[in-house]
Amino acid sequence: MTKSSTLLLLFSLFLFSHFASYAQPADSTKVEKTEISETVEEMPIYSGGEMELFKFLSENVAYPEEAILKGISGLVYVSFVVMEDGSIKNAKVVRDIGGGCGEEALRVVKLMPKWTPGKQDGEPVSIQYNLPIRFYLSRSQLKKAKKRNRKLNKPQINKPQYK
C-alpha cells in the first residue's frame, strides 16, 4: 500500500468515524452464554481511542488485488460483539462491496487487540458493535484499473499465420 493510499484510508476512516460510535444494540440473544446488552451507558472503546483504531486499520488493511484490478471501492461494515473482557467475538461482514474487501475487513477485525468494554451501571457488559471500514482508490488508481480492464476485455483476434 502506498503512502498516499494509507493517508487516504486514514483520512476517510476519520470522516466516517461517527458511524462507528453508533453501535446497534442487539436483541436479547446469547453469545457464548453471555447476554448482549440492549442499552449501555458507556460504549466500548478501542484501546488507545479512535485515532489508535484508525492507525491500526491503516497499518493492517491490505487493499485486495482483485478489488484494485476491478476498481472496487466503498464501505464494508463489520459487526462484532465486544465481550465483557474486551475481546472480539462473532465478527461478521454485514455489508460487502466485493473483490475480497469483506474478507480483508473481517481478517483485520479478528486481529484487533482487546477493547475497553462497554459498561452498564459501572459493570462491564457485552455489546454489539458495527464498524465501517472504507476501501478507497485514488483517481489515478481508478484510471489504471479501468485502462487495464479495457485491455483485458478487448477481444483477441488471432491473425492467420502465413508461411
pLDDT in tens, 127-157: 999 999 999 988 888 888 777 777 666 555 5
Q: Look at residue 19 in the predicted model and tell me its pLDDT.
A: 44
Question: What's this model's pTM, rounded to 2 decimal places?
Answer: 0.70
Closest alpha carbon to 129 in 31, 6, 55, 25: 25
Q: How far apart are CA 145 and CA 161, in angstroms?
A: 33
Per-residue model confidence as pLDDT tens digits over 104-127? 999 999 999 999 999 999 999 999
Closest alpha carbon to 50 in 108, 107, 10: 10
Q: Look at residue 145 in the predicted model and tell me its pLDDT.
A: 79
Residue 26 has pLDDT above 50, yes or no: no
Per-residue model confidence as pLDDT tens digits over 39-79? 689 999 999 999 999 999 999 999 999 999 888 999 999 99
Angle at 54 between CA 53 and CA 57, to 5 degrees: 85
Residue 78: count of CB within 10 angstroms of its CB: 22
What does the domain layout of the chain look like in residue ranges? 3-144
Angle at 140 between CA 137 and CA 142, to 5 degrees: 50
Enter the C-alpha cell of residue 4: 498516499
Q: What's the distance, Cα to Cα, between the start and end of the chain in Å?
A: 49
Q: Which CATH architecture has domain 3-144?
A: 2-Layer Sandwich (3.30)
Residue 137: count of CB within 10 angstroms of its CB: 19
Enter the C-alpha cell of residue 6: 494509507
